[in-house]
A and B are shown apart, each in its own frame.
Chain A
């Protein structure tokens, strides 16, 4: 008889929503806004809102691609569609995106924690501890990971949102005006940079066969996740600009943290709320990181016919550690971040759509998967 502790490798569509939202709402909520606001000015919140639409479109295309091969994941159908070499290159691209994203976030995370909470603790010590924790989490089966994500999502996101809403005390609407910046093009060119906010949705290519095909449609579930992320990220960006002004936010390294730092609740002894925010932020980052770590390990395990992805996770630990040290200088980390955005954007809007097109051309009569109503 199956118990709750047995491994579960099936996801309901609403679990897909939680998975996508949990992997998206992560480290970048603190790490990403400065660069975006620097680029798009007070219109950055529009870029973020447009980003939700753009990356939902990318996810929708990936779901459509999955429907072409309902019982397979990308490891199986990429070589079938593109051939061994090109398929392998695209799979490597997919793996690199996740690993590089993992390292970039690990870098930013350990730097923020060391700088703001433990200034005497070496960043490397924080990174190693977190790396091992994430590795342990990533070794679990999908069902366990999903349960961890559900728990963290519902326990941690409400206090995070509450903290940000207190920042309304310092909010000034005038700082958002004019709503459209003098150069509206910057809003559009800022959209690709919001990939950092929403990234992680690429996981649908791997988990598609695990999602139940009855009940709520997968596209609706993904739409709910992007709606949730879009509202949260847009609200946070609006608050950041309304509290700090676009110019100050662009000059800050972690503006969303300063927004919380500036909260003073009259008549209370509660202060230094940014510390509470960082404490809440740690599990949120963990939520993102276990997926970013689990995905490449599972892709490589399947590609190399190793049934157990845990060996790859153990292999990744020294790889990540070495790359973490190599990417340490700030300028290299910045360049890596920019390259990563290009790689992520390219995979979503070049590789995935082209694969879908090629699959449709190559298998025109293939029976496709469709979501069935539960009735």
Chain B
């Protein structure tokens, strides 16, 4: 029986609307909201990571036994340590010392990913690697495994920053993570800030050595170098570099070599250059480079390949230790100083390139890439013999200097 035959159409429309509303509500329940919501206080933000080789120990200490887990495949080769932010902040203790803003946790295993997951058993937080600034590899881990396999997990994880820094230490990487920074910052943040100083210090191989650039270099068959970091008691220092043939560790290069390379590549805007006084070599004159440019070009002349490096710098006289012996810096001294600084820059760059050739080391494959892109026909002829040819290639370096200022005091 139809109760309201005249309203039947309206009733059907209302029923349809109700069904649509119910369908939308169900849909909203199942699809809205956020499965991925993690409150900030529930995040264990990892600021830095250390990878060491684990020493075989038949009777490990109690802490290590607790940190450990049963691994179904492969030997336990690495110790992974994470620096995690203590979000409650450093609390002042009764003794007056402040509690660190971070803490470290470790695990032993073969796979970095498996260790990261196992460490969740030591933590009430959800590990978050999206803010990780630094990874420190021990020399031993790199010698054992090579760089690429150790980086593999980072490259697959979309949360990891493409511009994350990787460091190498000759000692244990964990000791770096346990270093208490003088500013109280988390170590990862401290290192990230420290590396921004690279624009004014040529001793740190920081430009174009982050994870993104390393990956590109390795994918293209190039060599890489990474910043070296060392710690002893209360001192921590980044300086010099760790050199790799492709991804195999070959040794360290010192600060002058890093400086010469960075100048040759035009990766340095500001730098300090020292020259000894001609008459009193124990005293130094120092130039602060404030602006510079460099071009490195390959040339082919018949069967001969050579490179030219043209370097131009301008800056100020930063220090003149012979002031007592020679008197104040006069305008006629400027040209002489410019010439000697230019000679020193030429020597520095040439020496660095020579060291690279002796090591058969082409950071980021830059020199090979220059030849490949600019003299492609020649590259095709010699590419298979490049490792033999590279150490024999002459580099002709020319530097020019302009001293713009001698400082506030003559």
Contact = CB atoms under 8 A, between A and B. Distances in A.
Interface of A: 115-122, 125, 128-129, 132, 170, 174-175, 177-178, 182, 244-245, 247-248, 251, 258, 261-262, 264, 271-272
Given A125-B31, A248-B215, A272-B130, A177 B220 contact: no
Contacts of B30: 125, 128
Interface stretch (B99-107, B355-363, B373-381): B373-381
B373 A178 contact: yes
Interface string B39-61: 00000000000000000000000
A118 B36 contact: yes
B212 A121 contact: no
18 contacts: A118-B34, A119-B36, A120-B36, A121-B34, A125-B31, A128-B27, A129-B31, A170-B212, A174-B373, A175-B373, A177-B373, A177-B376, A182-B380, A244-B216, A245-B216, A248-B215, A248-B220, A261-B161
A119 B369 CA distance: 38
Contact of A247 (B159, B212, B219): B219
Contacts of B36: 117-121
Nearest to A112: B158
Given A248-B215, A261-B161, 4 more contacts: A177-B376, A244-B216, A245-B219, A262-B163
A121 B212 CA distance: 28
* Nearest 4 Cβ contacts at the A-B interface: A177-B373, A129-B31, A121-B35, A248-B219
Contacts of A177: 372-374, 376
Contact of B35 (A115, A120, A174): A120
B162 A261 contact: yes
Interface string B150-163: 00000000110111
Contact of B369 (A122, A174, A182, A248): A174
A117 B380 CA distance: 43
Contacts of A271: 161
A175 B162 CA distance: 19
Interface of B: 27, 30-31, 34-36, 130, 158-159, 161-163, 212, 215-216, 219-220, 369-370, 372-374, 376, 380
A121 to B, nearest CB: 4
Contacts of B159: 119
A129 to B, nearest CB: 4
A92 B36 CA distance: 41
Nearest to B159: A119
A356 to B, nearest CB: 43
Given A125-B31, A245-B220, A248-B220, A262 B162 contact: yes
B10 to A, nearest CB: 21
A116 B219 CA distance: 23
A264 B163 contact: yes
Contacts of A170: 212
Nearest to A130: B31
Contacts of B34: 118, 121
A116 B374 CA distance: 38
A206 to B, nearest CB: 28
Nearest to B365: A245
A367 to B, nearest CB: 47
A177 B373 CA distance: 5
Contacts of A244: 216
Nearest to B369: A174
B40 to A, nearest CB: 16
Contacts of B380: 182
Contacts of B130: 272
A122 B370 CA distance: 46
A117 B35 CA distance: 11
Contacts of A175: 369, 373
Nearest to A170: B212
Contacts of A116: 158
A36 B341 CA distance: 50
Contacts of B219: 245, 247-248, 251
Contacts of B373: 174-175, 177-178
Contact of A178 (B163, B212, B376): B376
B212 A262 contact: yes
B285 to A, nearest CB: 32
A304 to B, nearest CB: 23
A178 B35 CA distance: 47
A10 to B, nearest CB: 30
B299 to A, nearest CB: 16
Of A117, A247, A262, which is in contact with the most chain B CB atoms at under 10 Å from its CB? A262
Nearest to A254: B158
B220 A115 contact: no
A296 to B, nearest CB: 23
B27 A258 contact: no
A177 B34 CA distance: 45
A184 B130 CA distance: 41
Contacts of A178: 373, 376
Of B163, B220, B373, B374, which is in contact with the most chain A CB atoms at under 10 Å from its CB? B373
Contacts of A262: 162-163, 212
A120 B36 CA distance: 5
B165 to A, nearest CB: 11
Nearest to B37: A120
A119 B34 CA distance: 11
A177 B379 CA distance: 12
Contacts of B161: 261, 271-272
Contacts of B216: 244-245, 247-248
B376 A174 contact: no
